[in-house]
Amino acid sequence: MTSDNRRESQDSDLEEALRGRAGAVPGEPDVSAATMRFTERAGAEDLIDVSYATTDSPFGELLLAQTGRGLVRLSFPGEGIDAVVEDLARRVSPRVLRMPDRLDPLRRELEAYFAGELRDFTTPLDWRLTKGFRCSVLKQTALIPYGGTVSYTEIAGAAGNPKAQRAAGSALGSNPIPIVVPCHRVLRTGGALGGYGGGLPMKQALLELEGAL
């Protein structure tokens, strides 16, 4: 089969899948045979650049997305799945598809972490959604051990500029991979919580889970 014919076949399957979704009965699973067939083919032929899935947590539903390099996005509850997927399509690749099986290892690690049974995540990370000093801050944050905390000043210094506490705080506030890159372990000098994208109750709960408070 030529590449043009293969592309036409894939487009046909996608159109069929979308028609199946449009005709779905309310209350029934929104997954047609055509959708499943297209997903399987896309995965088998390596046509997916970003795979995503959702998983439950004590704080609500999280969205997880990974590329061939590793975990690229973990969104907080309330960010909106559609909005996050659209952002990934714009900033990483339009070839984004829901593929829960590919995220199963990380989902199991998160479940163990929230149960207090996991201290270190093993999933590889894709840093492409952050650059420059922000990326340096987050890479230093990823080194903070379970149960430990540092100050904004300390993390800025570790990233190369101890006077850039505000910039460090901004980098942490826009962390695309929270929890796994534990920005919740960065506090104000003196021990105050500071800010957190998932809200201060979530930050406090994560620190208490790790025995850091």
The residue with tokens 């570790």 is: 158
> How many other CB atoms are there within 10 angstroms of residue 148's CB atom?
11
Q: What integer is the mean pLDDT of 53-70? A: 96
Can you give the pLDDT at residue 213?
80
pLDDT of residue 47: 66
Of the candidates 50, 54, 99, which has an alpha carbon nearest to the alpha carbon of residue 81? 54
Question: Which domains, and CATH codes, for the chain?
Answer: 47-114 (3.30.160.70), 132-209 (1.10.10.10)
135 given a catalytic annotation: no
Percent share of the chain, pLDDT over 70: 78
Name which residue leads in pLDDT, 23 or 85: 85
Given 48, 164, 177, 183, the catalytic residue: 183
Range with the poorest average pLDDT among 29-43, 45-59, 122-136, 140-154:
29-43
Give which of 114, 122, 141 is closest to 208, Cα–Cα.
Answer: 114
Q: Give Cβ neighbours of residue 62 (< 8 Å, ≥ 6 apart).
A: 54, 55, 56, 74, 75, 76, 77, 110, 179
At residue 196, does pLDDT exceed 90? Answer: yes
What pLDDT is stored for residue 48 in this prediction? 83
pLDDT digits (tens, 9 = 90+) for 31-44: 555 445 445 554 45
Greater model confidence, 60 or 190 = 60
Q: Give the C-alpha separation, 73 to 86, whole Å.
A: 12
| Mean pLDDT, range 97-105, rounded to an integer | 95
Query: Mean pLDDT score of the chain, rounded to an integer?
Result: 85
Looking at residue 4, what is its pLDDT? 46
Tens-place pLDDT, residues 164-193: 999 999 999 999 999 999 999 999 988 899
Question: Chain-centre distance of CA 130, in angstroms?
Answer: 13
Count CB neighbours of 70 within 10 A: 15
